[in-house]
Amino acid sequence: MKYTLNVNGKSHTVDVAPDTPLLWVLRDTLGLVGTKFGCGIGQCSACTVHLNGEPTRACMTRVSSVRNSKVVTIEGLAEESSHLHPLQQAWVDLDVAQCGYCQAGQIMTAAALLRDNPKPSDQEIDGAMADNLCRCGTYLRIREGIKRAAGLAAGKEATQ
């Protein structure tokens, strides 16, 4: 089946089975590999993208259900490709990642949080991020990264 998708502001027509998860359309068909496969059942949130601004698990989203929704992936998060989104910048400044595999999903979830709640409390951060698994255990730096991007006092010194 042919579907026309709006991904990161560009229109793409793809020819895939209707039950294909958006995750695999992004990764295999469009070559946008920043969105990660972790579990396939919406439990790890490594595949988080924005669908009309809402953080959504791409592994559980059939391509046939996307329709006219605007899809934003980690590749399209920054408003200008030459600049990093404040969260991306904070992640680099604080050296948040270890293996880094989950971090695109973490950032996509955090970006929606900060858009709706520019100065979240620790509890609000924990609540918003609870579905995103980080196997390496960088949760404390993720918290700090969100605060730094929000312009809140971040506990850690920046790295170089």
Partner 1 sequence: MNTSTISQPVNRRDFLRLSALASGGLMIGFYINSSGEAQAAESTSGPGGSFAPNAFIRITPDSKITIVSKQPEIGQGIKTSLPMVIAEQLDVDWKDVTIEQADVHDRYGSQSAGGSTSTPNNYENFLRVGATARAVLVEAAAQTWGVPASECTTASGVVTHAKSKRSLKYGQLVAKAVTLPVPDASKVALKDPKDFKLIGRRISGVDNTNLVTGKSLFGIDVRVPNMVYAVFEKCPAFAGKAVSANLDQVKALPGVKDAFIIEGTTNLGGLKSGVAIVADSTWAAISARKQLKVTWDEGKVASTGWDSFAAQAKELSSKPGARVLRKDGDVDAAFKGAAKVVEAEYVYPFISHLSLEPMNCTAHWNNGALELWAPSQNPASGRAMISTVLNIPQEKINIHLTRSGGGFGRRLSADFMVEAAAIAQKVNAPVKLTWTREDDLRHDQMRPGGLHYLKGAVDAKGKLVAWKNNFFTFGNVGQGGQVQPGSGGALSGDEFPGRWVPNYLAEQTVFEANWPMGPWRAPGSCVFAFVVHSFIDELAHAAGRDPLEFRLEILGDKDEMPGTPPAAGAKGPPPAAYNVARMRGVLKAAAEKANWGKKKYPKGQGAGLAFHFSHRGYFAQVAEVTVSKEGQLKVDRVISVGDVGSQIVNPSGADNQVEGSVVDGLSVMMFQELSVERGRVVNANLDEYPMLRMPDAPAKIEVHWLKTANPVTGTGEPAFPPVAPAICNAIFAATGKRIRQFPASRTDLRWS
Closest approach of Cβ 74 to partner 1, in Å? 4
Binding partner 1 by CB under 8 A: which of 3, 7, 30, 36? 36
Q: Which of residues 56-85 bind partner 1 (CB under 8 A)?
A: 73-75, 78, 84
Binding partner 1 by CB under 8 A: which of 70, 124, 131, 152? 131
CA distance 10 to 16: 18
Burial 71-85 (b: 16+ CB within 10 A, else e): bbbbbbbbeeeeeeb
Q: Which residues bind partner 1 (CB under 8 A)?
A: 16-17, 19-21, 24, 27-29, 31-41, 43-44, 46, 73-75, 78, 84, 87-88, 91-104, 107, 125-127, 129-143, 157-160
